[in-house]
Amino acid sequence: MERLRVAGREIPLALVVNLRARRYVLRLRPDGSARVTIPRGGSRLAGRRFAEGHEPWLARQLERLANRPAHPEPWRLGTEVFLRGERRKIEAAVGSDGSAIQLGDEVISVGGSTADWRPVIERHLWRLAIRELPPRVLELAASHQLTVCRITVRNQRTRWGSCSRRATISLNWRLVQTPPFVRDYIILHELCHLREMNHSMRFWREVGRVCPDFAAAERWLKQHAALLR
């Protein structure tokens, strides 16, 4: 990840090659980082210069981002929340040990009522992710003859996953909110870093080989970037 100076401060800059892209595209992510899509035949140097040439636009977008509400919207009964890629309403329910709320097939026991169910549901989904994500990582790693030393599920606000040089895969618990094909793309993306610890053309060729529909997954993530807030 490179750094780019915008409006007197530095922000992260990701330069990503997309063999299907026809032109350079600059985006500002919800976490305040910038991303340049580099088309076939392009270069990282040209991608960086493209971003530098749009510094005023980035400065305006950063200002808009800073003016967004600091606190996320509360989740109340009737609020729709993503679970495995489907919008599910929060509903009142009765659990075996008293009152509960329900989100899709997930029944969550609660101690009483509240004006905001977000903290309760997020904790439950995090626990669900801890149960579901590591086995899926191991399954996909084995199918591609890769070895993972450690898997963590974290509460990240700026990324969906990461891979360290020590073969540690870290995943965002919010992946349980995404469709299975998106979840698998993120896992495969990080697993590919075990072969290419970069975002070079060779890396993206490997991603395309193991996950041919990765562009659709990227589109879904872009359309639902607010999940990271």
Enter the pTM of the model: 0.71
Per-residue pLDDT tens over the stretch 170-205: 999 999 999 999 999 999 999 999 999 888 899 999
Q: Please, which pLDDT band fits residue 75 given cuts at 50, 70 and 90?
A: very high
**Stretch 204-211: mean pLDDT, rounded?**
95
Per-residue pLDDT tens over the stretch 77-136: 999 999 999 999 999 987 655 689 999 999 998 877 788 999 999 999 999 999 999 999
Instruction: Give backbone dihedrals phi and psi of 220, rounded to 5 degrees, phi first.
Output: -60, -45
Q: What is the pLDDT of residue 22?
A: 82
pLDDT of residue 49 exceeding 90: yes
The CA distance from 127 to 208, in Å, is: 31
Beta bridge mates, 152: 170
Nearest to 193 by CA among 144, 128, 136, 121: 144
Q: Which two tokens stand for residue 110?
A: 């609660």
For 6-64, the DSSP string reads ETTEEEEEEEEE-TT--S-EEEE-TTS-EEEEEPTT--HHHHHHHHHHTHHHHHHHHHH
Q: What is the pLDDT of residue 65?
A: 77
Q: What is the pLDDT of residue 20?
A: 81
